[in-house]
């Protein structure tokens, strides 16, 4: 099979490509613009494989998109390219509208052209549970939960989910959509909670928790997500949505406390040293209280469930960062772990 992956130099896309190259025989074309979040270092282990090709392109560039889609003629398009950081969407929503909405539209049009030329293909849109909005203390997001996005990021992902469904209904483009909870694991850009805390703890900098730290997220180890994506792309029902999650609900404060304890074991410091670095800072504007996922559909229909618990996944993650500090330095570029998302533009 030929699989076109957009955003393959990012955190989840690179995990997916490593999985597909190492564990399947498929031919992979990775298309990525290499924004601050994309780094080919994350694909170093598979770059020389003859089944892997890379094109540097912007998914909003319709000429380039039409060219690579019609030349490569993929059996599946797995679309992950996106602006993905909520705090950045607060500061500068324009890039999110461009890449996440216009970019998805551009890719859908190219997919439609390919289909019109007689190809049999599937468009897989990789999305987030944040499209469903915020839960109270109880309840879970299911595949039929109404959309209620509340940040520029989640609104742009909700828009792209709707576009994909519309292209399916209106033009008969075969699609699947997956909505997943918070991922963590190796190769995640150090602006996201877990790698940011690891890097700050190592630098003996404060560990900033937004607000009271009681916001709840579900956490999934990235390789479990990559396996789920491959399963949905190959065995999922066309026209269906699948929720993916780790059945690991944690408050942000719990996540950082546990991380501090793992750090203490793997990079020993005086007892509770890392926990003492925790500080509370101004909350994120519009910070959703709780996300939680009902994963029974993907478990029942495809037999998928996560292999890692939060404890085993977190330990692997901390270990990986401790052993890959040069990767962190190389990708961080101009990002100095500063606070983002407090200065909305007018």
Return the residue of 104, 128, 243, 248 that touches ligand NAD, per CB under 6 A.
128
* CB 104 to ligand NAD: min, Å: 9
Copy the structure tokens of residue 337: 């772990």
The residue at minimum Cβ distance from ligand NAD is 10
Query: Cα 174–32–63 angle (5° rounding)?
Result: 70
38 binds ligand NAD (CB under 6 A): yes
| Active site (annotated) includes residue 130 | yes
Side-chain half-sphere of 155: how many Cα atoms within 13 Å?
Answer: 12
Contacts of 301 (CB under 8 A, 6+ apart): 236, 237, 242
Decide if residue 218 touches ligand NAD (CB under 6 A).
Answer: no
Using the rule CB under 6 A, is 126 a contact of ligand NAD?
Answer: yes
Neighbours of 109 (CB within 10 A): 17
Is residue 186 part of the contact set for ligand NAD (CB under 6 A)?
no
The reply to whether 338 belongs to the active site is: no
How far apart are the two ends of the chain, measured CA to CA in Å? 47
Residue 173 found at the interface with ligand NAD (CB under 6 A): no
Structure-block tokens of residue 239 = 């026209």
Question: Is position 153 annotated as part of the catalytic site?
Answer: yes
Given 21, 82, 199, 263, the residue binding ligand NAD (CB under 6 A): 82
Q: Tell whether residue 284 is a contact of ligand NAD (CB under 6 A).
A: no
Among 77, 89, 102, residue whose Cα is nearest residue 37 = 89
Give the helix/strand (H/E) hosting 227. Answer: helix 222-235
- In the bound state with ligand NAD, the residue whose beta carbon lies nearer, of 61 and 269, is 61
Residues contributing to the site for ligand NAD (CB under 6 A): 6-7, 9-13, 32-35, 37-38, 58-60, 80-84, 99, 103, 126-128, 157, 180, 182-183, 189
Q: Which residues are catalytic?
A: 129-130, 153
């Amino acid at each position: 099979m030929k699989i076109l992956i957009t955003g393959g130099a990012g955190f989840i896309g690179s995990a997916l490509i490593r999985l597909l190259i190492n564990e399947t025989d498929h031919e992979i074309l990775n298309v990525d613009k290499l924004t601050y979040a994309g780094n080919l270092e994350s694909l170093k282990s598979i770059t020389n494989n003859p089944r892997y090709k890379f094109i540097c392109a912007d998914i909003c560039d319709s000429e380039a998109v039409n060219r690579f889609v019609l030349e490569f003629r993929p059996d599946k398009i797995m679309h992950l390219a996106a602006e993905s950081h909520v705090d950045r969407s607060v500061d500068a929503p324009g890039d999110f509208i461009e890449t996440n909405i216009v970019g998805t539209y551009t890719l859908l049009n190219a997919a439609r052209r390919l289909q019109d030329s007689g190809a049999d293909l599937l468009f897989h849109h990789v999305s987030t549970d944040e499209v469903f909005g915020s839960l109270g203390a109880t309840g879970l997001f299911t595949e039929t939960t109404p959309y209620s996005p509340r940040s520029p990021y989640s609104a742009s992902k909700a828009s792209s989910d709707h576009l994909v469904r519309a292209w399916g209904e209106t033009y008969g483009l075969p699609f699947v959509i997956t909505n997943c909870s918070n991922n963590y694991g190796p190769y995640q850009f150090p602006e996201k909670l877990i790698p940011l805390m690891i890097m700050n703890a190592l630098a003996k900098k404060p560990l900033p928790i937004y607000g009271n730290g009681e916001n709840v997220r579900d956490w999934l180890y990235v390789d479990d997500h990559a396996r789920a994506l491959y399963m949905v792309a190959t065995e999922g029902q066309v026209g269906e949505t699948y929720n993916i999650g780790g059945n690991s609900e944690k408050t942000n404060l719990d996540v950082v406390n546990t991380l501090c304890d793992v750090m203490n074991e793997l990079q020993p410091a005086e007892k509770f040293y890392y926990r003492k670095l925790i500080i509370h800072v101004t909350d994120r504007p519009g910070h959703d209280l709780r996300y939680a996922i009902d994963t029974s559909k993907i478990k029942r229909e495809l037999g998928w469930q996560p292999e890692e618990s939060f404890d085993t996944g977190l330990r692997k993650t901390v270990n990986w960062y401790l052993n890959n500090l040069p990767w962190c330095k190389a990708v961080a570029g101009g990002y100095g772990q500063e606070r983002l998302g407090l200065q909305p533009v007018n």
